[in-house]
Amino acid sequence: MHFELPAPRMTFDVALEDGAKIRVRRHGRADGPRLLLTHGNGFAADAYFPYWQHLLADFDLLVFDFRNHGQNVPADPPHHTYEQLVRDLERVIRDAKSRLGEKPTAGLFHSMSGRTAMKHALEVGWRWDALLLFDPPNVPPPGHPAFEAMAAFEKRLTAWARQRRRHFGSIEELTEEYRQSRAAARWVAGAHELMARSVLRKSPNGDGYELVCDPENEATIYAQAMTLNLWPSAKEFGGPVKLIGCDPNMKGSTTGPANQALGVEGGYDYSFVPDSGHLLQIEKPQECVQLTLEFLKRCGLA
């Protein structure tokens, strides 16, 4: 299977405080409720198309990548920190409202972007009519039963990212690497090639392709997980939040049990997707869409 993304109805660049830019792509219905959607660390929003294609008929969908990811030109210097990502998100939200007007709006965020959206809502302000968080890999406080597993998980990811291959002779090389990866084994057909297309850019020197997100930047985000102190209760937010985790009962799952603990202890509207791993929107897109629409409907947005 080969995914072909539709041409956006509109694109615009959001200027960030350091001169970097984020390219926003507008898809779907201009008269529908607005959704802002983005991705996890080292990935890209276009690769989540198996999920967001099902939202095009009813929503005004703004798809974007965080700095140093996806369709954006990598920033120099990268300023690749959660603190900066929070400020970048505020710029995107404000720019979208300025250009397109006020309307009911929800945020749909996975992993790294979910943590960013949580920090943004807690530290900057509540900007949503609804917020959906897909498996944010938050680390609980030391002493929590899930702490040691999550700390070890982030340490492994940091080490892996630092030694990650960055140059590829072709898109197919990275596609095959994803196909051989145990972590990507449950992705839907066609997603491996779509992800490879979405996270690579032509090398500036003309020699093949390279990752848009440098391994050093990816590793920095994994390492910062241990410094965030991000384990809030649902009532700390200014509006309705839905927490959707991967399956906590799957063998080897780390983020699943952590999100189940956060959901129960924090009083969240929490669900998990059975038989899914961390990339649940790419593994089980239909199930994720169903949970999305159910929550948006309860919030008056669907």
pLDDT in tens, 34-91: 999 999 999 999 999 999 999 999 999 999 999 999 999 999 999 999 999 999 999 9
- In angstroms, the CA 254 to CA 150 distance is 6
For the four alpha carbons of 40, 90, 60 and 118, in that order, the dihedral sign comes to positive
54-87 core/surface letters (b: 16 or more CB in 10 A; e: else): bbeebbbbbbbbbbbbbbbebbeebbbebebbbb
- At residue 286, does pLDDT exceed 90? yes
The residues pairing with 243 across neighbouring beta strands, listed in sequence order, are 133, 270
Q: pTM, whole model, 2 decimals?
A: 0.98
Q: Are 50 and 76 in contact (CB under 8 A)?
A: no
- At residue 1, does pLDDT exceed 90? no
- At residue 189, does pLDDT exceed 90? yes
Please report, rounded to a whole number, the percentage of residues in the chain having pLDDT higher than 70: 100
Please report the pLDDT score of residue 206 as a whole number. Answer: 87
- pLDDT (tens digit per residue) in 135-154: 999 999 999 999 999 999 99
- pLDDT (tens digit per residue) in 82-100: 999 999 999 999 999 999 9
| pLDDT average, residue stretch 21-25 | 98
Q: Is 85 helix (H, G, I), strand (E, B) or coil?
A: helix
Please report the pLDDT score of residue 20 as a whole number. Answer: 98
DSSP 31: T
C-alpha torsion angle, residues 130, 132, 137, 142 (rounded to 10): 40
Give the H or E element holding residue 50: helix 49-52
Please report the pLDDT score of residue 250 as a whole number. Answer: 95
| pLDDT average, residue stretch 185-209 | 96
Give the orientation angle of helix 82-100 with respect to helix 112-123, to 10 degrees: 80
- pLDDT (tens digit per residue) in 222-255: 999 999 999 999 999 999 999 999 999 999 999 9
Please report the pLDDT score of residue 195 as a whole number. Answer: 98
Please report, rounded to a whole number, the percentage of residues in the chain having pLDDT higher than 90: 99
Mean pLDDT, rounded, of the chain: 97
Q: Are 109 and 86 in contact (CB under 8 A)?
A: no
What is 10-142+229-298's CATH superfamily? Alpha/Beta hydrolase fold, catalytic domain (3.40.50.1820)
Please report the pLDDT score of residue 192 as a whole number. Answer: 98
Please report the pLDDT score of residue 120 as a whole number. Answer: 98
DSSP 183: G
Q: Are 273 and 284 in contact (CB under 8 A)?
A: yes
pLDDT band, residue 259 (cuts 50/70/90):
very high
